[in-house]
């Protein structure tokens, strides 16, 4: 049930305000906090809280943010043997919250220094993994190198193609599962979601926010509904879905079960503040599943 996450680890600098400022406008905020984040670290924490054994391969800086990022991962039972500490600043994400939505600026920092050498050092862990998860907030050459390693070791890959501009079609043959949102899907494939899904049955899963997720099983389109919830902070909902989906696949769920499990976990995650603040434990997800999906 081991999952390896190869990806980013950041410190999120979160600001909340009643209204997004227009260009050139200054507004008052009512929230400020620093919380560990980064798509890789978020997905690692999400899977670990659900009960998977998770290893993280990433880079942080030798600054106070780096220390906090690693401490947080360890506190969430994520193995940090593969987290390198490099000279300079850790990655940060500036997150603006307002009107039930978010706008994010990421500064990669130490994430940009994750190299193939870091992947080689963790070969034994990768070989033993049920699933290896990727995102695209680390150097693309390192992603491609690690994808080759996963294929060499015959380990299934879950790639969450965010930010989408980092994705290339050269990556698709390596992916057992690709999990873009609807916007990312159209950016990547250049066709509408329906056409894209039909090209990659049971491999392309498109997340639809509160409406759930969708894939094509080779014969029909499967829409797996979301769950009713009241959103406090949507930051990290997609990462929670991916971590939970990976946990589901690693524990032997079929595709539809794993997607539904991911939807339930994501619906819980938005009910609390911070990318990782609302990431649920397995029992919470089981209870939400019992309530039944009801978004449609």
Q: Which residues are catalytic?
A: 239
- Beta-carbon count within 10 A of 182 CB: 17
Q: Where do we find the tokens 């996963």? A: 150
Instruction: Pull the structure tokens for residue 12.
Output: 């999120």
Q: What is the structure's pLDDT at 293?
A: 57
Q: What is the structure's pLDDT at 233?
A: 76
Instruction: Pull the structure tokens for residue 142.
Output: 């390192």
Burial of 232 (C-beta count, 10 Å sphere; 0-12/13-18/19+): middle
Query: Which pTM value belongs to this model?
Result: 0.92
**Is residue 176 within 8 Å of 157, Cβ to Cβ?**
yes
Q: For the chain, 296 residues long, give each residue's pLDDT as a single digit of tens.
A: 799 999 999 998 989 999 999 999 999 999 899 989 999 999 999 999 999 999 999 999 999 999 999 999 999 999 999 999 999 999 998 989 898 788 888 899 999 999 999 999 999 999 999 999 999 999 999 999 999 999 999 999 999 999 999 999 999 999 999 999 999 999 999 999 999 999 999 999 999 998 999 999 999 999 999 998 888 877 789 999 999 999 999 999 999 999 999 999 999 999 887 778 889 999 999 999 998 755 44
Cα(295)–Cα(164) distance, integer angstroms: 26
Three-class SS of the chain: CEEEEECCCEEEEEEEECCCCCCCCCCCEEEEEEEEECHHHHHHHHHHHCCCEEEEEEEEECCHHHHHHHHHHHHCCEEEEEEEEECCCCEEEEEEEECCEEEEEEECHHHHHCCHHHHHHCHHHHHHCCEEEECCCCCHHHHHHHHHHHHHHCCCEEECCCCHHHCCHHHHHHCCEECCEHHHHHHHHCCCHHHHHHHCCCCECEECHHHCEEEECCCCEEEECCCCCCCCCCCCHHHHHHHHHHHHHHCCCCHHHHHHHHHHHHHHHCCCCCCCCCCCCHHHHHHHHHHCCCCC
Q: Where do we find the tokens 């979601």? A: 193
- Beta-carbon count within 10 A of 35 CB: 20
Q: What is the structure's pLDDT at 296?
A: 42
**Is residue 57 within 8 Å of 81, Cβ to Cβ?**
no
């Amino acid at each position: 049930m081991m999952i390896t996450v190869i990806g980013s680890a950041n410190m999120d600098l979160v600001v909340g305000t009643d209204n997004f400022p227009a260009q050139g406008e200054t507004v008052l905020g009512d929230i400020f906090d620093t919380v560990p984040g980064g798509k890789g670290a978020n997905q690692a924490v999400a899977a670990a809280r659900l009960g998977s054994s998770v290893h993280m391969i990433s880079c942080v800086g030798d600054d106070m943010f780096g220390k906090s990022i690693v401490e947080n991962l360890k506190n969430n039972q994520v193995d940090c043997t593969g987290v390198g500490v490099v000279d300079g600043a850790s990655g940060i994400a500036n997150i603006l919250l307002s009107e039930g939505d978010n706008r994010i600026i990421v500064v990669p920092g130490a994430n940009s220094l994750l190299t193939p050498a870091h992947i080689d050092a963790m070969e034994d862990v990768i070989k033993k993994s049920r699933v290896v998860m990727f995102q695209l907030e680390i150097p693309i050459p390192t992603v491609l190198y690690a994808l080759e390693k996963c294929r060499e070791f015959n380990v299934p890959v879950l790639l969450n193609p965010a930010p989408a501009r980092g994705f290339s079609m050269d990556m698709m043959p390596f992916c057992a599962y690709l999990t873009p949102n609807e916007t990312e899907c159209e950016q990547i494939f250049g066709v509408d979601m329906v056409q894209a899904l039909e090209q990659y049955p049971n491999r392309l899963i498109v997340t639809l926010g509160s409406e759930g997720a969708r894939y094509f099983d080779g014969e029909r389109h499967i829409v797996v509904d979301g769950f009713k919830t009241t959103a406090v902070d949507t930051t990290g909902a997609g990462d929670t879905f991916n971590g939970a989906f990976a946990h589901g696949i690693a524990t032997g769920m079929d595709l539809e079960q794993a997607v539904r499990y991911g939807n339930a976990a994501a619906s819980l995650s938005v009910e609390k503040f911070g990318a990782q603040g609302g990431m649920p434990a397995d029992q919470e997800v089981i209870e939400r599943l019992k309530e039944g999906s009801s978004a449609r």
